Amino acid sequence: MTREAAETFLAHGVGGSTDLPVPLSYALIGAAWALAATFAVVAVAWRTPRFDPAKPGRELPTWVSAVVDSPAVRWFVAIAAAVFTAWVGVAAIWGPQGSDNALPGAFYVLLWVGLVAISVVIGPVWRLISPVRTVWRLLHIRRRGATPSEGRIRYRHGWGYWPGVVGLFAFVWLELASSDPGSLTAIKIWILVYAAAMLVGAAVFGTTWFARADPFEVYSVTVSRLAPFRRSRATGRIVIGNPLDHLPTMPVRPGTVAVMAVLLGSTAFDSFSQSATFNNFVARNSASIPLVGISAGGTVLRSLGLILFVLAVGVTFSAAARATAGVSREQRRELPALLAHSLIPIVVGYIFAHYLSYLVERGQETIVRLADPLGRGWHLLGLNSDDVQYFLSLNPTLLWTIKVASVVTGHMLAVIAAHDKALRVLPVGHQLTGQLAMMLTMVGYTFAGLYLLFGA
């Protein structure tokens, strides 16, 4: 299939509800029943908590941990990632300054979507491959007598993940709300500001700054809670186990719910922003925004829409988590953060539902462009544009099935995770009734997600 033919499909690989093998209403009803049945089963058969982060898991052979922890291996991987980043930089600066440049694909597809795929499979890899972490290690930015995690000034606990939330929102704003998300200049400026903020922050606060403020590290660590691999708390060796045992290990810090709201709300807004209804609304009203031109007016409207979606997720989830009796005011305030990990399966499901075809197909296109970074007709590794396979776009029924399965499975796992945690944090007598609001919220998220994917 040629690139031109592939572009006749909409952004995420399907043409909307007309491509569905069943009516959209049937899909919505089926998803609601699946969630209701899941809740009914766990409510009856799941009376005590089962997910325990302390479960040992199955230890992998000793050599696996030895290889992963080997300084030589870790430095090799980190340097390889830094070299790849430099290669993308060469393409960005000296390559074709148009749609054939590899930077947007590397930035929006390989990094943003590919990072989820890798982190869900093997764990929080960004800690190892982050180019800014590698540069910081090479520069040895630290004060004598201070540990690398502390830096010159101790990072304040009350800041939590809020710097990371700002970075995450800055990324999704550039992609979804800015006037020209594909602008090479805009992406380069974003990357420069990001790198400067990370290196300066690490010089002041140490490696704790990366863990709390680097949007990609926060993103990678968050979704990695679903990875089957983790460290044994007793031995430090790598083990494999039930990802749902690992899911509750997500730290409860200020900004935890906001991280989930940005990730989930922005993905939902991505689908909504592609609808004819929203685009027509922006076209009709962008000129009426005072003090700015038409282009900036459209940016303002898209920015307000993005903020509205993020707030909708944060407010509805927090309200549902707090809608229980039998708890004190202080405990009620803590419930949203304690249950926030249950949103991770939904976020991962939506990411794959929205961006799977992007990752598979645009990812191939980006790799081919990186094989010819300067646009001189190179075919490094024998790659050329004819090698790109648009299998998913050519099979909309298969793609639709994967998308719906991702959304519904993510919500079912979220219901199970929320129920298990509720058994630990809600008082006896309110463990089921206290979850009803959350169950209805999950159903609402499912309806909204599927409708935005296929109906909007």
pLDDT value of position 22: 56
User: Per residue in 29-73, pLDDT tens?
Assistant: 777 778 888 888 887 778 788 888 888 889 999 999 999 999 999
CA distances from 152 to 113, 148, 149, 208 (A): 34, 9, 10, 11
Confidence of residue 145 (pLDDT cuts 50, 70, 90): very low
Q: How far apart are CA 408 and CA 27, in angstroms?
A: 10
In this structure, which amino acid lies at residue 368?
V
The number of folded domains in the chain is 1
Check if the beta carbon of residue 451 is closer than 8 Å to that of residue 24. Answer: yes
* Whole-angstrom distance, CA of residue 4 vs CA of residue 354: 21
Beta pairing partners, 229:
240
Q: Is the pLDDT of residue 341 over 90?
A: yes
Q: Above 50 in pLDDT, residue 148? A: yes
- 219-234 in b/e burial notation, b at 16+ Cβ within 10 A? bbbbbbbbbbbbebee
**3-state class (DSSP) for residue 239:** strand
Give the mean model confidence (pLDDT) for residues 257-286: 91
Task: Supply the mean pLDDT for the chain.
Answer: 86
CA distance 350 to 361: 18
| Reported pTM | 0.89
Q: How far apart are CA 355 and CA 374, in angstroms?
A: 27
Model pLDDT, residue 200: 93
User: What number is the average pLDDT over the span 157-164?
Assistant: 94
Which structural domain, as residue segments, surrounds residue 407? 3-455
State what percent of residues in the chain have pLDDT above 70: 91
The DSSP-derived string for 150-204 is: T-SSPPPGGGTTHHHHHHHHHHHHHHHTSS-TT-HHHHHHHHHHHHHHHHHHHHH
> CA 84 from chain center: how many Å?
22
CA distances to 101, 140, 182, 370 from 96, rounded to whole Å, are: 5, 36, 13, 11
Helix (H) or strand (E) holding 230: strand 229-231
Return the H-helix or E-strand segment holding 119: helix 112-122
Paired residues of 238 in beta bridges: 231
What is the pLDDT at residue 18?
43
Q: Whole-angstrom Cα distance, residue 369 to residue 98?
A: 12
Among 364, 455, 365, 366, which Cα is nearest to 407's?
A: 455
Q: What is the pLDDT of residues 85-132, one digit of tens each?
A: 999 999 999 999 888 899 999 999 999 999 999 999 999 999 999 999
Q: Tens digit of pLDDT for each residue in 386-400?
A: 788 888 888 888 888
Share of the chain above pLDDT 90, in %: 46
Cα 373-375-378 angle, rounded to 5 deg = 75
